[in-house]
Amino acid sequence: MTDGDTGVDGGEGAGGDDVDLLDPFRQFFSLRRDVLVLSLAMFAFSLGFQMTNRYVPEYLSALGASAFVIGLFGTVGNVIGAVYPYPGGRLSDRIGSRVALTLFGLLSSLGFAVWLVAPTLGTVTVAGVVLEPWIWIFVGLFLAQAWKSFGLGATFAIVKQSVPPARLARGFASTEVFRRSAFLIGPLIAAGVIQYVADFTAGFQYVLAVALLFAVVATGLQHVLYDASEDTLGKEFEGVREVVDDLRTLPPELRPLLVGDTLVRFANGMVYVFFVIVITQFLEVGLDVGPLSLSPPAFFGVLLAIEMLVALVSMPPAARVAERVGLKPVVALGFLVYAVFPVLLISVPADTPLTAPLVVALFAFSGLRFAGLPAHKALIVGPAERDAGGRVSGSYYLVRNAIVIPSAALGGLIYGGFSVPTTGLAFPGSPTVAFGLASAFGLVGVAYFALFGEEYDAYA
């Protein structure tokens, strides 16, 4: 990518200061070709991820995994989220975006394929160790997440280079609305397929097959259409010391945001993988409205779509509000929604006429956490030097995601129970305790950011 205009409009939308919900899409379809190709590939891979990733905990359960293993899946995902973006960005700089895009796309496609065939591999014994079928879900996870290692830093860098400082939140709203449209469509596709096929495991394999198709097509198109003529290769990676230097040079304004964000994400990470389990097994809630009857797994896909519809509608106006009142209040609102959602969800009474409506209302409320996401990204990248947006964002997420790594495993232990060998000490497990503690952690993060968080100068 060059440092010039990449086509993300930093000026006023079609309606001046009026909110135009279609403006993000108009901006994206007027992009320069290389950025448009990246954006469309991001959309396709996001579609595949959102069709599959939120259902994987239920898939693991169907393959015989315990609550702790499901939590461990979330923790491994946290490891990947912490580790992949930094070397992925460095590798992209080193070998060029086109080659990196193709490599990461092929690996992600292979990951979906491994998930697809996992039930057919059965139980195997390697060197005397019995490997259950769910182990292949972990193998596939390392592969399926590969494309994200390029996309994160690239998105930050594109927006940072392309919009004026006072319009950063609006620029990020444009990228987020376009990309997260896939978050709305993907779960609906999954819900339709799962509802049509009576057996969940078989239905989810069909979903994985569709996701694999999307990934293969996106990889091929981005390889053919991406214009690499203006790509520049970065310097050779200088080792761990360079990572440490990047972390030390994080702008000091980011530290309160990083602390509060990390606490909120740790809280969310404790229970995030169990949202589908709560709907399908704890509450066992489906949807029966007239002739429409949805099983709990299919209903979960509809809930995810409702959540994302609220997110898509709320992000552009929230970005405009941030330009008037500042980034910090909008970010704090998003953090607050993150924090209180777990305890509200686990408190829904089961098996009552109000169960389904309450769950729908809660997932709609959860969509508001995304309203603060563009402002959050602007607050991260705003203090960075113009050509350092990718490095600063990569370093920020490296720290945050590294600390969050054990959250899901901890949540799995509390959710499913555990015993301490040779001591006789045991905890029987409690979803209510796990979700309640998660909200408590999150509220501490909200309070810390509210007290110590700083405003980005362009919005002050």
CATH code for the domain of 350: 1.20.1250.20
Task: Provide the pLDDT for residue 10.
Answer: 34
Task: Provide the pLDDT for residue 171.
Answer: 58
254 part of a folded domain: yes
**What is the percentage of the chain residues whose pLDDT exceeds 90?**
41
71 part of a folded domain: yes
379 part of a folded domain: yes
| Residue 385, C-beta contacts closer than 8 angstroms, at least 6 positions apart | none
Percentages helix, strand, coil for the chain (3-state, rounded to 5) are 75, 5, 20
Average confidence (pLDDT) over 261-281: 95
DSSP 210: H
Indicate if the pLDDT at residue 198 is higher than 70: yes
Task: Provide the pLDDT for residue 160.
Answer: 54
What b/e string do you get for 405-429 counting C-beta neighbours within 10 Å, with b at 16 or more?
bbbbbbbbbbbbeeeeeeeeeeeeb
Average confidence (pLDDT) over 396-413: 88
Cα–Cα distance measured from residue 210 to residue 194, given in angstroms and rounded to the nearest whole number: 12
What residue numbers bound the domain in which 315 lies?
33-229+238-459
Indicate if the pLDDT at residue 13 is higher than 50: no
10 part of a folded domain: no
The number of distinct structural domains making up the chain is 1
Cα–Cα distance measured from residue 331 to residue 257, given in angstroms and rounded to the nearest whole number: 9
22 part of a folded domain: no
User: pTM of the predicted model, to two decimals?
Assistant: 0.81
Task: Provide the pLDDT for residue 184.
Answer: 87
Task: Provide the pLDDT for residue 288.
Answer: 84
Asked if 322 contacts 460 with a C-beta cutoff of 8 angstroms, the reply is no
Cα–Cα distance measured from residue 320 to residue 333, given in angstroms and rounded to the nearest whole number: 15
344 part of a folded domain: yes
325-370 pLDDT per residue, tens: 888 888 999 999 999 999 999 999 999 999 999 999 999 999 999 8
pLDDT band at 233 (very low <50, low <70, confident <90, very high): very low
Q: Cα dihedral sign for 57, 60, 66, 72? A: negative
Tokens 């996001």: give the residue: 46
> Of 70-74, 270-274, 282-286, 393-397, which range is least confident?
393-397
87 part of a folded domain: yes
pLDDT band at 371 (very low <50, low <70, confident <90, very high): confident
54-109 pLDDT per residue, tens: 999 999 999 999 999 999 999 998 888 777 776 776 676 666 667 777 888 899 99
Asked if 314 contacts 302 with a C-beta cutoff of 8 angstroms, the reply is no
